[in-house]
Amino acid sequence: MQSAKFSTLPLKKPLLTNLDTLGYVEMTDIQAQSLPLILAGQDVIGQAKTGSGKTASFALGLLNKLDVKKFRVQSLVLCPTRELADQVAKEIRQLARAIHNIKVLTLCGGMPIGPQIGSLEHGAHIIVGTPGRIEDHLSKGRLDLTHLNMLVLDEADRMLEMGFQQSLDAIIDYCPVVKQSLLFSATFPDKIKAIASRYLRKPEHIKVESVH
């Protein structure tokens, strides 16, 4: 595929400048194919192998939408494990370096709940976490998704393999109707198709074979 540059995207200026600083010049295939749709507000299913740059696809999408002056949870990213959630939060923070006072909070299972409750009371713009723990906070009324405008299911196939189907269903019930949803997965078995058709609205399915 012909190379495409981030500078051709309708991204906010600070994000473009920061991408330059980070040395992100050319988009990977999944980024080049998904970002124009994501930035246009469409629901997208992104299917691509590990290492193809899926994180930046959704991270730039949610950061471009974000209103940092509004200190409410505007994006929720669900990941299968704490390690992946930490990696995703790190990448979001790096891509968001040019946006001051942005708060990204990770909420994962296996971590003490007390500090998470404290952090939630302080507020956040972006939440990254594992489904079980997110469901727990939602069911206790500690996490308010009223202002959510972007829901991301990252590594959806692995979340299902790990038995998170019920938590995902419960979380979706807490999400407001008006939102954009993105689903990323390396594989696309029937169970993912079913989830996609239940959670996403008229999604564009992008499948990329290459990693670059």
* Residue selected from 2, 13, 50, 118 as contacting ligand ADP according to rule CB under 6 A: 50
Q: State the Cα–Cα distance between residues 19 and 199, nearest whole angstrom.
A: 31
Q: Is 61 in the site for ligand ADP (CB under 6 A)?
A: no
* The 3-state secondary structure of 8-64, one letter per residue: HCCCCHHHHHHHHHHCCCECCHHHHHHHHHHHCCCCEEEECCCCCCHHHHHHHHHHH
Do 26 and 3 contact (CB within 8 A), yes or no? yes
x/- contact string, 49-68, with Mg ion (CB under 5 A)? -----x--------------
Residue in 41, 32, 16 with CA at minimum distance from that of residue 178 = 41
**What token pair was written down for 99?**
């946006």
52 binds, among ligand ADP, Mg ion, none (CB under 5 to 8 A by kind): ligand ADP
**Amino acid occupying residue 43:** D
- Region from 48-56, 125-133, 162-170, 195-203 binding ligand ADP, contact rule CB under 6 A: 48-56
Q: Which of 51, 123, 176, 189 binds ligand ADP (CB under 6 A)?
A: 51
Asked if 126 and 74 touch (Cβ cutoff 8 Å), the reply is yes
Q: What are 137's two structure tokens?
A: 């906070």
Give least dist CB 111 to ligand ADP, A. Answer: 22
Kindly state whether residue 28 participates in binding ligand ADP, applying the rule CB under 6 A. yes
Decide: is 95 part of the binding site for Mg ion (CB under 5 A). no
Interface with Mg ion (CB under 5 A), residue total: 1
Under rule CB under 6 A, residue 24 binds ligand ADP: yes
Instruction: Please tell me whether residue 164 binds ligand ADP under the rule CB under 6 A.
Output: no
The distance of closest approach from Cβ of residue 118 to Mg ion in the complex, given in angstroms and rounded to an integer, is: 29
DSSP 57-105: HHHHHHHHH--TTS-S--EEEE-SSHHHHHHHHHHHHHHTTTSTT--EE
Contact 47, 186 (CB under 8 A): yes
Picked from ligand ADP, Mg ion, none, the partner binding residue 164 (CB below 5 to 8 A depending on kind) is none
Task: Output the smallest distance, CB 102 to Mg ion, in A.
Answer: 21
Contact positions vs Mg ion (CB under 5 A)? 54
Contact positions vs ligand ADP (CB under 6 A)? 24, 26-28, 31, 48, 50-56
